[in-house]
Amino acid sequence: MPLHGSFYPPGDKSISHRLVLFALAAKGNCLISHLSGCADVISSLAIYRRLGGKTENTADGLLIKGLGGDIASGPVDLNCGNSGTTIRLLCGILAGLKGEFTLDGDDMLRKRPMVRVTEPLKRMGAQIDGCLPPVRIRGSFLHAIDYNSPLASAQVKSAILLAGLKGDGLTVYREPVTSRNHTEILLRECGAELKIKENVISIVPGDIQLPAKFTVPGDASGAAFFLSAAAFIPGSDVTALNVSLNPGRIGFLSVLQRMGAGVDIVAQDCAPEAQGRVRVFYNGPLKAACINSEEIPALVDEVPILALVAAHARGTSIFRQVSELKVKEINRLAALHQQLGALGADIKIDGDDLLITGTGNSLQARKDILALDSFRDHRMAMTLALAVKAAGVVLPVKDARSAVISYPDFFSDLNLLWHD
Ligand code: S3P
């Protein structure tokens, strides 16, 4: 059965986190419209409030008050829940503020690497400990650094730039491939002095001030589930409205296009974050694609749903250098291998590459399979929910509700778009 119609994805999760967390360090008030109501952003909001933040619901959105660094100094225990963005950005913000903080999260977050953030922060003079959560921070004076990051990670970049605001000179951050730039965009909106030259970002220390208003575009990573499914389900035609068109987030659209899907993008006049309308429609059988390592940061969260698309395309698709997926909410490479494999997909992990061979036909669940498992990973939950729908099988997906981590209305939007 095809997917048909238009939908508004939730507010972008990455941008929503930044608006809430920047309010700890920045002065001024910001009226945020379309802030994501997902569980991860609720974790960031709860921490902002625990540190003394105040919000007000208005007809036009949430009014958030900037604390300008004047936060509860603790010692305070902060629960980041399942959210890697919350814990990593907070490390950068709190390292240079006064107080003692313990940052922890759920059992999944406790398995996620923190050294990528704590190591460069230590070089800046931060008093921070913990290779895995819980991470302990005692705020201190920070030095500027020139950091050559081995990872293309927006979370690491954000932590260092935010700490750089408290440095004693120009902090320079170099990344191997450009990662999403929401932090740079919002820092500039907050009046920070940034120089950006390709993959080198420099920040001058100083105070920041929230913009008076900010409209959060729809989450491209959420929209990607329905848009990608429309690419391989015959007869489908789906439009995401008011969705982010930030180039660092829509790498999946060029992959869908290369595979042969119909893709129309109409930009709206919107600043500072690009936004518009994206239509994806079934345009005949798809062919396999090779996704090289430089493309990965702009689609890192879309690999699970693109893997499902690849399983429906003819030929072998290769996702090169996707080892970062091993340290997301769960090891997504292993989960994809196991769960899409259970649905009959030909899927292999070769070192850090993911290879999927499709025949162009729909997937057929193995006879011995009674249920699929999302392992409580939101992106696995949404991928598998679409996989069983597309396969036309009635198979439960364990912990499918984990979709609320990033997309609270995923299942109602699925019902809206799916026409039995
Ligand atoms: C995010 C960055 C990405 C992404 C995550 C959100 C962000 O992680 O996977 O879902 O908001 O900065 P890395 O860039 O650290 O890999």
What confidence tens digit (pLDDT) does each residue in 116-168 have? 999 999 999 999 999 999 999 999 999 999 999 999 999 999 999 999 999 99
Stretch(es) of the chain classified as CATH 3.65.10.10: 13-202, 220-417
**Average pLDDT taken over every residue of the chain:** 97
User: Which member of 12, 40, 219, 301 is catalytic?
Assistant: 301
pLDDT in tens, 188-204: 999 999 999 999 999 99
- Residue whose CA lies nearest to ligand 1 atom number 3: 154
Residue list, ligand 1 pocket, CB within 6 Å: 14, 17, 85, 153-155, 158, 179-180, 300-301, 324
- Measured CA to CA, the distance from residue 150 to residue 147 in angstroms comes to 9
Q: Residue 366 above 90 pLDDT?
A: no
Asked if residues 326 and 334 have their Cβ atoms less than 8 Å apart, the reply is yes
User: How many CB atoms lie under 10 A from the CB of residue 232?
Assistant: 25
73 pLDDT band, cuts 50/70/90, is confident
Tell me the C-alpha distance between 62 and 249, whole Å: 25
CATH for 220-417?
Answer: 3.65.10.10
Question: Which residue lies with its CA nearest to atom 10 of ligand 1?
Answer: 301
Report pTM: 0.98
Whether the link from the prior residue into 247 is cis, omega within 30° of 0, is: no
CA of 352 to the centre of ligand 1 (A): 18
| C-alpha 109 – ligand 1 centre gap (Å) | 14
Residue 96 near residue 163 (C-beta atoms within 8 A) = yes
Find the 378 Cα to ligand 1 centroid distance in Å. Answer: 14
Could you tell which of 38, 153, 156, 323 is best to mutate to test the pocket of ligand 1, judged by most ligand atoms within 8 Å of the CB? 153
| Index of the ligand 1 atom closest to the CA of residue 328 | 9
Which tokens is 217 given? 């575009």
Nearest ligand 1 atom, CA 183: 12
Measure CA of the first residue to CA of the last residue in the chain; give whole Å: 6
pLDDT band at 257 (very low <50, low <70, confident <90, very high): very high
CATH superfamily entry for domain 13-202: Enolpyruvate transferase domain (3.65.10.10)
Task: State the pLDDT at residue 1.
Answer: 86
pLDDT (average), residues 390-412 = 97
| The pLDDT of residue 74 | 82
Is 377 a catalytic site residue? no
